[in-house]
Structure 1
Amino acid sequence: MEINILNENDYLETLRLSEYAFQYHVPEEKIPSRLEKLKSHKLLGIREGNVLAAKLHIIPLAVHMNGDEWEMGGIAGVATFPEYRRSGYVKSLLTEALSQMRQDGQIVSLLAPFDYAFYRKFGWEILSDVKRVTIEKINLQFLSPQPGSIKRFAKASHHEEIEEIYRKYCKNYMGLLVRDTDWWIEHVYDEQSHAAVYYNSSKEARGYILYSIKDRKMEVQEIVVLDQEARVGLWNLICQHDSMVDCVTVNLSVHDPFTYFLSQPKLKTEVLPYFMCRIIKAKECLERFPFDRNAEPVFLHLEDPFAAWNNGSYLIGKGEVKEFKAKQGSQCVNPPKRGIRLTINELSAILFGYKRPVELYDLGLIKGAKQEVDQFETMIPKLKSAFYDFF
């Protein structure tokens, strides 16, 4: 089979495949704007004769990684017509996408899976969990009044201060999307969204919620705060809607202490995995990761069946990363007998802060001497992964 990089002549056919596969319809008047957005994507496709049988989108983006920004390829729109499924087309597209992202300088990749087990086979791993809390009207109980004030915004009145709150918040997390103003307008807000910003007594913007209200239900899509004063102030704003709503749902990072500080913390709470992540260029990721580089060196023996350039051994410690590439596709040059053996899935989970080495060792997912795993554990700072967006 031949994989092609699609161009503008293929855009309408690409859209039609998406409509069929994902069961939606784009009104005729909106088609030009949808096709225009595809210009920022790299589109890979496989044809059967004159028919576009399968396709995949790579969106050039970036993610916040503990104060740094890493280039990221967002995988989206993976689709095949039913008559061409189970022909290995998606496997081929994903394999080619890894090479294309490497070539384009994207060192990690994210995607929203239709099936976690399917994408795990290709090296993507869970990035973060999302916590969804449902609060009945009876539990909308005010806390102590805060000294600050609230100002509301919408898509048409979006303010840069909201972006600044988000940027500051991202410094403490791994994986949150780097958002420019266009992304906020086009992908974060919808037509029903409101943004409420909390300002302290010094008029500093310290937190926001992004929410919508419909059919007496309030849904808080994001709550992003920089301190407890803003958290309480925004909670009290939610409570101010008690005459308008019968219940409130709040979507949160699992690391957010929300509910703990409420008068009634016993609330219906669902925790589910959300996006998936994958390392594309292992050596560069290891070089940029904030290891404690003064720790004693540790050997990592990495296996990546779908990105062979990552296979090999890496010595981490003493302020550097040394790579020992595989020889003839199997044995490393002067392979060390000691070290930790893991796949790209486990390394992705560790570097994004979703799992710790000791956890994965206890699950039998990484191999090596317990002493070396403990040593690797001490090299990794305490990290928190999170992700709010969708693409």
Structure 2
Amino acid sequence: MVGTGQGGSAMIVRNPTEGEVERAIEVASIAFPNVTREQWVESFSMIAEVFGRRFILVVEDEGVIVSTLVCQPRPVYIFGSPVPHASTGAVATVPEARCRGCAGAMMAECVRLLRAEEVWLSSLWPFSYAYYRKFGWEIGAETRCYSAPGKVFSELGDAGKTRPAVEADLAQVKAIYDDWAKGFNCLTQRNDVWWERVIPIRLLAEPNLIVHETGGRIDGYAAYKTDRESKSVHVQEIVFFDAAHRRDMLAFLGKAEPEGTVSFDAPLDDLFLQEMPNPRLANATLSSSFQFRVTDPPRAMEALGVDETVSGRVSFAISDPVFEEGWRFGIEVDYGAVTLTKPDPKRTLEMDVTTFARLYSGYLTAFDAWELGKLEVGGGALDALLTACDVFSPLTPYRSALEPG
């Protein structure tokens, strides 16, 4: 894409050549000095090798590459079924080229790129919710964060049922994750390449993965980082099917750092405080999480898994800052099977694409969006609103800290 920067200069958004990937790495290193160059080399090299350079974008301004971003395509689970998705991240611009519209042009092109690649969803970890909202990304979930002194967690369960993982455990860890991920919206359907090249777990480098066992069988795990200076442990992902198993793993980590702090994130509907004998001993906060984008609403609806008891018709009129013509389409649901139809003005829900993203992720129901004034019901057809409530997934949206973006 060719555009014009704020200073009137020619600005081109494109994929880098093989030789220009090094400059893209340099741009990211300059923009994010808190991340080592070696990490950027590993990240960009992996994306170019595994996904292809077409999932790296750069901005050339006055003949110099000044901005870059990367996408990592892999489906996410929505209501237990995979939907094409890509994380978007490393959105970087060198200081001297900022405030010229480079990153904005790149974000808009990113949406067009993903749609052209038949990737209907995207997630990112934002530095500013307001900034990415301008290009159609919206908050996709809220996350709970719990923290307490290690000695508090050490008394919550049986640490003896948890041990450091070994490489032979990874096959069971992968299977456990997949079963767990299907119970939420927006977690990645991870394949072997994803585990080996994308997820920052190095089993043999340091003990940053523990597993929980019952009767000799692994039934939970936790991936974590330790800050030796502050004696703090942050759990990046903790997977379990029995609440007692999470308490056992937290007890293990608490015993490892009894004088430090242990913290972990959890989905919005998590009930951890109700498990604690004295919940005042833990800090609990609620915060906005990742941002979410639907790049092609009609195709995303075709890909959506719907409960097989649901039938009905509803139409959508969606405005979009990238696709100025917007989206107008209808769907008919027949016992969970979704078919695209022509829009019906009498059964139309009107909204912008950021509201649609919240509906799709499961963060907001159609009825709540209507009550908040984020959605209008054309023709007064409230039954279409109720159909939309049934169509979108009721599962809680969540992405752990191990998810890229």
Question: Shorter-chain TM-score: what band?
Answer: 0.7 to 0.9
Give per-residue Cα distances to partners, 1:7-28, cap 9 Å, x unaligned.
211011111111111124645x
Q: Amino acid of the residue matched to residue 303 of structure 2? A: R
Q: Which residue number in structure 1 is paired with residue 297 of structure 2?
A: 282
CA positional deviation for 1:169:
0.1
Q: TM-score, normalized by length of structure 2?
A: 0.83
Residues 1:247 and 2:261 are matched in the alignment: yes
Give per-residue Cα distances to partners, 1:134-176, cap 9 Å, x unaligned.
1124533634659x8333116x666211111110101111101
Q: 1:296 to 1:9 in 2, by over 3 A?
A: same
Q: Which residue number in structure 1 is paired with residue 142 of structure 2?
A: 129
C-alpha distance in 2 between matches for 1:153 and 1:56:
34
Residues 1:300 and 2:326 are matched in the alignment: no
Q: Amino acid of the residue matched to residue 365 of structure 1? A: K
Q: 1:236 to 1:90 in 2, by over 3 A?
A: closer
Q: Which residue number in structure 2 is paired with residue 362 of structure 1?
A: 371
Q: 1:165 to 1:337 in 2, by over 3 A?
A: same
**Kept after mapping to 2: 8 A contact 1:127/1:349:** yes
Q: Which residue number in structure 2 is paired with residue 261 of structure 1?
A: 275
Task: Pick from 257, 263, 286 the counterpart of residue 271 of structure 1.
Answer: 286
Q: Amino acid of the residue matched to residue 4 of structure 1? A: R
C-alpha distance in 1 between matches for 2:33 and 2:355:
34
Q: Which residue number in structure 1 is paired with residue 15 of structure 2?
A: 5
Q: 1:198 to 1:301 in 2, by over 3 A?
A: same
Residues 1:291 and 2:299 are matched in the alignment: no
Q: TM-score, normalized by length of structure 1?
A: 0.86
**Kept after mapping to 2: 8 A contact 1:45/1:56:** yes
Aligned length: 377
**Kept after mapping to 2: 8 A contact 1:340/1:367:** yes
Q: Which residue number in structure 2 is paired with residue 20 of structure 1?
A: 30
Residues 1:55 and 2:68 are matched in the alignment: yes
Give matches, 1:311-322, under 5 Å. 311-318=327-334, 319-322=337-340
Q: 1:38 to 1:233 in 2, by over 3 A?
A: closer
Q: Amino acid of the residue matched to residue 132 of structure 1? A: C
Give matches, 1:143-154, under 5 Å. 143=156, 145=158, 149-153=161-165
Task: Pick from 214, 221, 241 the counterpart of residue 208 of structure 1.
Answer: 221
Q: Secondary structure at the match of 2:375?
A: coil
Q: 1:257 to 1:188 in 2, by over 3 A?
A: farther
Q: 1:199 to 1:376 in 2, by over 3 A?
A: same
CA positional deviation for 1:381:
4.5
C-alpha distance in 2 between matches for 1:366 and 1:144:
46
**Kept after mapping to 2: 8 A contact 1:283/1:310:** no
Mind listing any 5+ residue stretches in structure 2 that lack a counterpart?
4-11
Q: Amino acid of the residue matched to residue 354 of structure 2? A: N
C-alpha distance in 2 between matches for 1:30 and 1:208:
25
CA positional deviation for 1:128:
2.1
Q: Which deviates the most, 106-115 or 247-256? A: 247-256
Q: Secondary structure at the match of 1:316?
A: strand
C-alpha distance in 2 between matches for 1:79 and 1:206:
40
Q: Which residue number in structure 2 is paired with residue 328 of structure 1?
A: none
Q: Which residue number in structure 2 is paired with residue 327 of structure 1?
A: none
**Kept after mapping to 2: 8 A contact 1:139/1:264:** no
CA positional deviation for 1:223:
1.3
Q: Amino acid of the residue matched to residue 289 of structure 2? A: Y
C-alpha distance in 2 between matches for 1:235 and 1:15:
37
Residue identity over aligned pairs, in percent, reads: 19
Q: Amino acid of the residue matched to residue 290 of structure 1? A: G
**Kept after mapping to 2: 8 A contact 1:218/1:245:** no
CA positional deviation for 1:279:
0.8
CA positional deviation for 1:76:
1.6
C-alpha distance in 2 between matches for 1:31 and 1:175:
25
Q: 1:373 to 1:32 in 2, by over 3 A?
A: closer
Q: Secondary structure at the match of 1:291?
A: coil
Task: Pick from 360, 363, 388 the counterpart of residue 351 of structure 1.
Answer: 360
Q: Secondary structure at the match of 1:210?
A: strand
Residues 1:168 and 2:179 are matched in the alignment: yes
C-alpha distance in 2 between matches for 1:116 and 1:78:
14
Q: Secondary structure at the match of 1:198?
A: strand
**Kept after mapping to 1: 8 A contact 2:58/2:67:** yes
C-alpha distance in 1 between matches for 2:155 and 2:39:
43
Q: 1:103 to 1:264 in 2, by over 3 A?
A: same
**Kept after mapping to 1: 8 A contact 2:302/2:340:** no
Q: Secondary structure at the match of 1:376?
A: helix
Task: Pick from 167, 170, 178 the counterpart of residue 159 of structure 1.
Answer: 170
Q: 1:358 to 1:33 in 2, by over 3 A?
A: closer
